[in-house]
Amino acid sequence: MTGSRYRWFRVFKISGIHATLLAYSALVLFPILLVFMNSFKDQMAIFGEPLAPPTPETFSVDGYKTLFEIANFQHYFLNSLIVTTVSLVLIVFLGAMAGWALAEYEFKLNTFMAIYLALGIMVPIRLGTVGILRLMADWHLVNTLTALILVYTAMGLPLSIFILSRFFAQLPPDFKDAARIDGASEYRIFTLVLPLVRPALGTVAAISMIPVWNDLWFPLILAPSEKTKTIVLGAQVFLGQFLNDWQAVLAALSLAMIPAILLYMLFSKQLIRGLTAGAVK
Amino acid sequence: MRRKPFPWHITVFLAPAVLIYTLFMIYPMLASLKFSLYQSLDDGRQVFVAFGNYIKLLTDPNWKEPFWNAFWNNVVFFVIHMSLQNPIGLLLAVLLASNIRGAWIYRTIIFTPTILSVVLVGFAWKLILSPTWGIWFPLLDRLGLGDNEVAIALLGNESSALITLSLISVWQNIGIPMMLFLAALIRIPSELIEAAQVDGASSWRVFWRIQFPLIVPTVGIVAILTFIGNFNAFDLIYATQGALAGPNYSTDIMGTFFFRTFFGFQLRPGDPNMGATVAGMMLLIILAGVLLYLYGWQRRMEEVQF
């Protein structure tokens, strides 16, 4: 192949790659942008010109007004925030403690514990719902955020322990041995190594966050009361009730998507690193 | 090994995680399995029926019909994911791994739907495909399908609803296989690929001869993750079609069938014992998949890699 023909071929190939990726990106963005755009239009314009962006004549925020008057979205948002934050702290911190124990110490039940805790990676926690609901009912935890936090912590721990124990195992031994010779207790050593795996902690938090924030199943079953609704359940119920108020429905969809997209922008680096690390067999 | 006295610190480190995990994951799972071996009498007493509930689920006409319907719908759901989501995810990953400019922008955009709640994604698509809004119609007219009843209401027809929902799910979840494949492709030493290119190998050949063989383990991981995710799915169907998984149960999958059995629907009261039985069947299906993967696939992989 001559040089110029080769160059032409390369240009052609790279344009093809960009065209494919651009087309797919458009397919991804189209529904999301369509919902956002139409949430700022009046009912007439939503139906008349669905593909047109809002203009000064068609601009309207009536949907958002209905939303704030009727649904308690601020409250739902707060519930989601509390549940997700507390669960994540527990998943990361308790996961780090257990991961450290499995990676650092040799004891009789080590392998058994590692396998026992890893079962939860493969088996979905939802399949124990009948048992979970009875347990929560016995402990009077139905319709509390505590119930959700406990379930999500149990759900997130297996992967957290699995990933973190691998990171702890990769730490060089010199540092720990030096601390031990200095007479540091095992608890003290743990607090010293924890900052060393900080990127891994961020990664675990990022990949554990999505299923917790977005879950519909457990809020629906364990905490459906108005007081404890999360944003996903709140949006689901609102969307079902206001089916015919398109402005309100589009506004609710947009508003519920925004926090997730903001979190994604903040944490996408950790998230992508996490997926990459998790892929190592 | 390291110390002689009872290692309290190991217990302290492990106990909180093991306790929460055991109490809220393992114990409920076992309790649910045990519960599936009992039946409630009218006075509320529980009687042991061994595998009676499972036999009922598989043979009683009132149960076997909805069960097999949900099972086969779930198989269709899974097959569509395997044949579209994973190959397209792989294609996107190969394109992203080709060192083009702006790859991270494409990657970030394509992953966006995956971080959104299934409820929101499902509902957004429901609006877009809704005949009331009709955004779809100009395109249908151009394709000459303007009068086609099925195309007008893709989610409202028995013949098209399940496939449409599967495609929505593919649209949403494609980011996961894409990222896993991308991670595997990036780990391939670039010298390998460059050497082949210098020898004049086409991209197609490089892919099949070098990249694909090296990422085969990831293909297995993606397949088993898809399987577990699909046979545990619920949110999308519930959010768009409701607990009845309409039209006429044509989009009913194991997750929605489990929900209805456990909580009841319309005039039929919920049955926790049968709910636990459906969950037990789902566990069995998922375990069968996992074992097949571990013994059938991974063992063979090890043989290949020595």
Whole-number pLDDT of residue B135: 81
Question: Cα separation of B28 and B31, whole Å?
Answer: 5
Pick from A1-10, B4-13, B41-50, B257-266: least confident: A1-10
What is the mean predicted confidence (pLDDT) over A214-225? Answer: 94
Domains of chain B in start order, with CATH, are 59-304 (1.10.3720.10)
Residue A41, strand partner residues? A59
Residues of A in contact with B260 (CB under 8 A): none
Structure tokens, A199 = 């990127």
Q: CB–CB of B127 and A35 under 8 A?
A: yes
Residues of A in contact with B27 (CB under 8 A): 131, 135
Contact call for residues B226 and B169 (beta carbons, < 8 A): no
Q: What is the pLDDT of residues A178-198, one digit of tens each?
A: 888 888 888 999 998 999 888
Q: CB–CB of A246 and B127 under 8 A?
A: yes
Global pTM?
0.90
Tell me which of A127, A181, A216, A253 to substitute to probe the interface with B (most B C-beta atoms closer than 10 Å): A127
Residues of A in contact with B95 (CB under 8 A): 17, 20-21
Closest among B64, B115, B88 to B274, alpha carbons compared: B64
Residues of A in contact with B282 (CB under 8 A): 127
Whole-number pLDDT of residue A279: 44
Chain A neighbours among B 157-216 (CB < 8 Å)? 171, 176, 179-180, 182-184, 186, 200, 203
Share the mean pLDDT of chain B: 89
3-class secondary structure, B38: strand
pLDDT greater than 90 at residue B159: no
Q: CB–CB of A128 and B28 under 8 A?
A: yes
Question: Cα separation of A5 and A1, whole Å?
Answer: 7
Angle at A28 between CA A26 and CA A30, to 5 degrees: 60
Closest among B178, B55, B121, B2 to A216, alpha carbons compared: B121
Angle at A49 between CA A47 and CA A50, to 5 degrees: 70
Of the partner residues A21, A126, A134, the one whose CB lies closest to the CB of residue B106: A21
ipTM: 0.89
What is the mean predicted confidence (pLDDT) over A73-95? Answer: 94
Residue-level length of chain A = 281
**Cβ neighbours of residue A237 closer than 8 Å, sequence gap 6 or more:** A229
3-class secondary structure, A13: helix
